[in-house]
Amino acid sequence: MKFSIMVNEGPYTHQASDSAYHFTAAALKAGHEIVRVFFYHDGVNNGTRLSIPPQDDRNVCTRWSELGQQHELELILCVAAAQRRGLLDEDEAKRAGKNSDNIAPGFEISGLGQLIDAGIQADRLVVFGD
C-alpha cells in the first residue's frame, strides 16, 4: 500500500509527531511505500536543526532526518507555515534578507501543491494531529 503522511503538530507539544514517526517507520518495515511526509501548521517545527532536547530525551527532529535519509523519503515543510515560525532553508533566508537557515538535513520547503500531489499518488493520506 502507498501512504502519504501529514503531520500537523510540533515535536514536543503533542503525541502526533511521535505517532507519525512510529507509523511511518513501521509501514516502511512492513514493506509499504511512503509517497511523502508533509509537515503543516506547527508540524513544521519537526524540521528545525536547532532544537536541543535534553540528553535523556528523544530527538524527534533527528529521528525524522535519519528516517528520511535512510529511506529516501520526501520530508516537506509547508512554506507558509515554516516562514511564520521562522524556519528557513538557504533560499528562503536569502530571499527574506536573513543571515542563516535552520532546516534539518533531509527536509525541504515547498507549497501545498506537494500535499495535494501526495494525496493523489497515495492509496491513503494519514493525518496526525488536529
What residues are labeled active site? 78
Beta bridge partners of residue 37, listed in sequence order: 5, 75
DSSP state of 47: G
Comparing CA positions, the residue from 52, 47, 60 lying closest to residue 17 is 60
CB contact burial 41-72 (16+ within 10 A = b; e otherwise): bbbbbbbbeebeeeeeeeebbbbbbebbeeee
